[in-house]
A and B are shown apart, each in its own frame.
Chain A
Amino acid sequence: EIVLTQSPGTLSLSPGERATLSCRASQSVSSSYLAWYQQKPGQAPRLLMYGAFSRASGISDRFSGSGFGTDFTLTISRLEPEDFAVYYCQQYGSSPTFGPGTKVDIK
């Protein structure tokens, strides 16, 4: 099983700032199968990025993904009030796994 680790656990930032979220895998993950999700309290997760670099339908270009192998990054260029949430990375190969999440909260 591929274990995903996310850092930091919590990121405290102000609106307008840049957020950089990290996801590290215990073994190499095909970039084709790396995704990021956003979850707000009381809501189901929402797909942000798939294939490590591709934005899902309707997702703002403030969100971008990068990385390969075992290290991946989600960047939010300028935080808007609606971006404060929990973010999960996921590898969706034959046996998908999720990371523990990074909470982005308001400083």
Chain B
Amino acid sequence: QVTLKESGPVLVKPTETLTLTCTVSGFSLSNSGMGVSWIRQPPGKALEWLAHIFSNDEKSYSTSLKSRLTISKDTSKSQVVLTMTNMDPLDTATYYCARTFRGFDPWGQGTLVTVSS
């Protein structure tokens, strides 16, 4: 069974850096063609793709957030890490990770991150 689980702080202050970890099980981050994406969803709003990383270490970022995002993976730990710098209250959202292969499937349960002083 493939599962993904997000972890990280629930509250960050404005200007701080957010670090989120996605721990996967049921598949390997080294499986050819497999990737992991990060997506966020502000309360009551639509989904927004942030970044993805694939087994060959190919990375891609949202154009609007590229300067603030870094994605990396540790295959031995089955983890994908996303960092987002200079957090703002507008970044308050539920952050999801999802396996990326023929669409995004499955998704983690999500983690709500609130940005507030």
| Chain A residues at the B interface, C-beta cutoff of 8 Å | 1, 35, 37, 44-47, 49-51, 54, 56, 88, 90, 92, 94-101
Complex Cα gap A99–B105 (Å): 17
**Of the residues B47, B100, B105, contact of A88 by C-beta under 8 Å:** B47
CB of B30 within 8 Å of the partner chain: no
| Contact partners of B96 in chain A: CB under 8 A | 44-45
B: which residues have CB within 8 A of A?
Answer: 37, 39, 46-49, 52, 60, 62-63, 96, 100, 102-110
Point out the residues of chain A lying under 8 angstroms from B105, CB to CB: 46-47, 50, 56
Asked if A90 contacts B46 (CB within 8 A), the reply is: no
With A1-B63, A35-B104, A96-B37 known to touch, is A44 a contact of B49 (CB < 8 Å)?
no
A92 touches which one: B63, B100, B106, B110 (CB < 8 A)? B100
Closest residue of B by beta carbon distance from A86: B46
Check A92/B60 contact, CB under 8 A, given A97-B49, A99-B46. Answer: no
Which B residues touch A99, using CB under 8 A?
Answer: 46
A-B contact pairs, 27 of them (CB 8 A): A35-B103, A35-B104, A44-B107, A45-B47, A45-B96, A45-B107, A46-B107, A47-B104, A47-B105, A49-B103, A50-B105, A51-B102, A54-B102, A56-B102, A56-B105, A88-B46, A92-B100, A92-B103, A94-B60, A95-B49, A95-B62, A97-B49, A98-B46, A98-B47, A98-B48, A98-B49, A101-B46
Known: A1-B63, A94-B60. A47 touches B103 (CB 8 A): yes
Closest residue of chain B to A57, judged by CB?
A: B105
Q: Is the CB of B103 within 8 A of A44?
A: no
Residues on B with beta carbons closer than 8 Å to the beta carbon of A54: 102
Residues of B within 8 A of A46 (CB): 105-107
A96 and B102 contact, CB distance less than 8 A = no
Cα A47 to Cα B63 in complex, Å, equals 24
Question: How far, in whole Å, are A16 and B22 apart by their CA atoms in the complex?
Answer: 39
* Residue from the list B62, B104, B107 in contact with A90, Cβ < 8 A: B104
